[in-house]
Amino acid sequence: MRYLIASFTHKNTNIETRERLSFADETLRKRFYEALLAVDSVHEALIISTCNRVEILVSAKEVEGLGDEILGIICRLTGVSCDELDGKGEIYTDADAIHHIFSVVSSLDSLVLGETQIVGQVKDAFSFSYEHGFSGQKIARVMHNAFRCSAAVRNMTDISKNPISVASVAVAKAKEIFGGNLGGYSGVVVGAGEMGELTAKHLANAGANIILVNRDMEKALELAKRIEKVTVTVEPFSELPKLVNHYRLLFSATGASEPIITKDMVEETTFERHWFDIAIPRDIEQCDYENLTIYAVDDLRTIMQQNLAQRAQNAQKAFEIVGEFTENFFKWLQTLSVDPMIKEIRKKAREASQKELHRAIKKGYIPAEYEKQVEKILHQAFNSFLHEPTSILKKIAEQPQADTVVQSVQVFFNLNAHQRKAINTYKCEYQIQKDLTTKEKD
């Protein structure tokens, strides 16, 4: 079993290309999954698509040449030319791939170091992949270890202290523009999803009143109830053309595949407007007006660099934790191999039978000249007894529940004591919950 990641991020791919690779459309995403799994060597796949990155993780029998195949599929389905992708993105394999995905989930590869929403975004991506049968045991192992690694980084360092997200960076920039205080101002927030909610909460903490706009009014009203300290007004999506020309501050964070604020909606104003487009693909079509400034995700790098300097020491410790988790992950994988475990169980049975046989001969219960015959009978008895359970072990080795079964057997027979962990330590919590749900339905 091997792993490969094709990674396109704010570090190696411009925003225009990332927009076209975002797989925001669910139908396109499913087609891409199906194309990936149609490759002979690919077993499972996971696509993580956020405003700052597209990560394509696959488990495969072989990875030689696989990166080029994946890039070919990307170009075919998205319309992005291979020339455009030339020099962009990174390909990671095996230990490098695991180290990279652990770093991503631990927010060490984020635009804003230490931001916390990446964990939720990755969990959602994995849930989608698993629910639709695009991933299973092999990627579940990686994901659960990645989430454990992320938790360790948060608990053992201060890297996420006073957590910072792209949304908070946008609000911080707005505060900077308006003299450090947004009290008395109103900000239009377009979108009531995770990023929209984060933006609204940061605006509320900064003292700004909020005008919330969303296609789903019920969802917007529910979000409005969760915002405290300030006045929150909910407006229908149809009012957006009026709102964009009335307020100084606007933050847009929807999941739309096309711009929702277009040139024809925008009018010239006598006052300055500052709009923050924190969506990928972008929500705001480029407009050239003297009193209008539009900030895209990539424009927030300056504040990110300031945070990086403050958190450098924590990052070093965090990367050490990621390195340890990466090393332990591969050590643990080795302990899950069924054949060596079966061999060790049989060895223990043989040693136990020989020990008791020698004791019986010493005490005179069995004549010494019968040693070989009795030894043969004992070995045949143990082999017969172990045949069924070892056969079952081999059959379930590739099933999602196999890790828990294998670790249970390790506990019962005291195998791999130096590597053995508690039952379910490594089993994906999502799979555990899914198993429980399935049992309740049955």
pLDDT tens track for 356-405:
888 888 888 889 888 889 888 988 888 888 888 888 877 776 665 666 67
CATH 3.30.460.30: which residues of the chain? 2-162
Mean pLDDT of 418-433: 43
Is residue 71 within 8 A of residue 85, CB to CB? The reply is: yes
Mean pLDDT of 63-71: 94
Question: Which residue among the candidates 51, 149, 287, 428 is catalytic per the annotation?
Answer: 51
Q: Quote the pLDDT of residue 187.
A: 97
Bridge partners of 232? 210
Pairing of strands 2-9, 53-60: antiparallel
In CATH, 166-308 is 3.40.50.720? yes
Mean pLDDT of 89-96: 94
Is residue 220 within 8 A of residue 213, CB to CB? The reply is: yes
CATH superfamily of 2-162: Glutamyl-tRNA reductase, N-terminal domain (3.30.460.30)
> Does residue 51 carry a catalytic annotation?
yes
Measured distance CA(93)–CA(82) in Å, rounded = 21
Verdict on whether the full-model pTM lies above 0.85: no
Measured on CA atoms in the order 256, 11, 171, 107, is the torsion positive or negative?
positive
Q: Quote the pLDDT of residue 171.
A: 93
Q: Quote the pLDDT of residue 307.
A: 67
Q: Quote the pLDDT of residue 436.
A: 41
pLDDT exceeds cutoff 70 at 223: yes
pLDDT exceeds cutoff 80 at 442: no
Measured distance CA(229)–CA(223) in Å, rounded = 14
Kindly report, residue by residue over 159-204, the tens digit of the pLDDT: 877 556 788 889 989 999 998 889 999 999 999 998 999 999 999 9
pLDDT exceeds cutoff 50 at 46: yes
- Nearest CA among 158, 148, 160 for reference residue 324: 148
The 8 Å CB, 24+ separation contacts for 292-299 are 292/266, 295/170, 295/173, 296/15, 297/10, 297/15, 297/51, 297/52, 297/111, 297/166, 298/10, 298/14, 298/15
Mean pLDDT of 256-280: 95
Q: How far apart are the first and last CA of the chain?
A: 32
Collapsed DSSP state (helix, strand, coil) of residue 296? strand
CATH 3.40.50.720: which residues of the chain? 166-308
Q: Which helix (H) or strand (E) holds 439?
A: helix 429-441
Q: Quote the pLDDT of residue 403.
A: 65
Name the band, by pLDDT with cuts 50, 70 and 90, for residue 27: very high
